[in-house]
Amino acid sequence: MSHPLTVAAIGFWHVHAGDYARDVQRHPDTELVAVWDDDEQRGRAAAEEFGVEFVADLDELLARPTLDAVTITTATDQHRDVIGRAIAAGKHVFSEKVLAPTVAEADELVDLAREAGIALVVSLPRLYDDYTVAIERILDEGTLGELTYSRVRLAHDGWVAGWLPERFADPEAAIGGALTDLGCHPAYLTRLFHRTEPLSISASYGHVSGRAVEDNAVVTAEFPDGRLGVFEASVVTTPGAFTVELRGTEASLMFGFGGERLLAKGGAFGDQWQELPLPERRPGAFAQWVQHIHDGTTADDNLRHAVELTRVVVASNESAATGRAVPLEPAFVPNVRNGRA
């Protein structure tokens, strides 16, 4: 491997492509060396912005022995093909979520990477944020009692203010709308907070802007023992919002209501809402990916979250389309915990 690791940015379809390219340029152990995109005009513009080479032939780029790794931010429907080709070429992969359009394809990519000794990591950034670390500690300490209800909402004004590209409304390329892209974050946090996999998914989608995919989404996940987790996404909300509400048999937590503060009330926290300190965030997914490459290790926890996220997204889309609850059969033994990717 090179020192620093040489990385190519594959696809600038997704709005986070530039973020990951900047991550590569900022990290002391990685160097951005090339860009590929199936849209040559878009790819050349990105390569010029980041001061690197544009390569029109993906296979030629992946075949370069001097290339160590790639970031993947193509259209979601291309993930299985492009990630599979990168793994086959021996390149480590950092991918935008969701990992693949179907659970079978996600499982296949995880297996291919493991067999090839490739470090595969999916960008699930809110797993590692400071409020998540704090909430997990409180849940593990049992201060809330039994978690009975959760609600996690993430929203922005992308299709109100006009900055979210219209390609995100393509149901084939994006494989879904607000829930599939933005709602991924509330979805994986809901699973994490309930510490187990949901038994069933019920979803309702709205089309405020009249596009082919949903721009408003509400999903209810049923967990064992009657516990409920609600997660929501919207791209037609001003201002944007990220909120967490956790209700237990002894106490409650709230985050993001009127500020980036974690509030607690009830039980050991007392009868008034009090603000709790936030610990340091964990190393982000990109930094963990680089470390996995150097250590020759597999991001088992991150990949488990990524596969189960795909399962929840697929079930949500099916539920919204059919108007029925969709039962889930998790591939992993329930006992969700977070930590290193």
Q: What is the CATH number of the domain that holds 36?
A: 3.40.50.720
H-run or E-run covering 322: helix 300-322
Same-domain status, 130 and 260? yes
pLDDT at 3: 87
Same domain, 186 and 257: yes
- 321: CATH: 3.30.360.10
Q: Is residue 266 part of a domain?
A: yes
* Helix pair angle (184-194, 130-141), 10° resolution: 20
Pair (40, 145) in one structural domain: no
Rounded to an integer, the average pLDDT of 52-61 is 98
Domain assignment of residue 334, yes or no: no
Position 292 in a domain: no
Region of poorest pLDDT, from 187-191, 274-278, 328-332: 328-332
**Same domain, yes or no: 136 and 91:** no
Whether 272 and 151 map to the same domain: the answer is yes
Q: How far apart are the first and last CA of the chain?
A: 21
Q: Is residue 22 a part of any domain in this protein?
A: yes
Residue 293 included in any domain? no
53-75: burial string, b at 16+ Cβ within 10 Å, e else? ebbeebeebbeeeebbbbbbbbb
Residues 102 and 200 in one domain: no
* pLDDT score, position 329: 78
SS in 3 state form for 178-194?
A: HHHHCCHHHHHHHHHHH
Could you tell me if 60 and 208 lie in one domain? no
Let me know if residue 137 belongs to a domain. Answer: yes
Within-domain flag for 297: no
Note the maximum CA span of the chain: 64
The distance of Cα 76 from the centroid of its chain, to the nearest Å, equals 12
Q: Give the chain's domain count.
A: 2
In this predicted structure, what is the pLDDT of residue 340? 53
Range of the domain at 54: 5-118
Once rounded to an integer, what is the mean pLDDT over residues 125-133? 98
Angstrom distance (rounded) from CA 34 to CA 227: 48
pLDDT at 311 over 50: yes
Count other Cβ atoms within 10 Å, centred on residue 312: 28
* Alpha carbons 218 and 237: distance in angstroms, whole number: 14
pLDDT value at position 224? 97
User: Is 326 in contact with 315 (CB distance < 8 Å)?
Assistant: yes
Rounded-to-integer distance, Cα 303 and Cα 134, Å: 22
Lowest mean pLDDT among 180-184, 272-276, 316-320, 336-340: 336-340
Residue 176 resides in a domain = yes
Mean per-residue pLDDT over the chain, rounded: 96
- Measured CA to CA, the distance from residue 311 to residue 330 in angstroms comes to 8
Closest by CA to 205, choosing from 219, 213, 220, 217, is 217
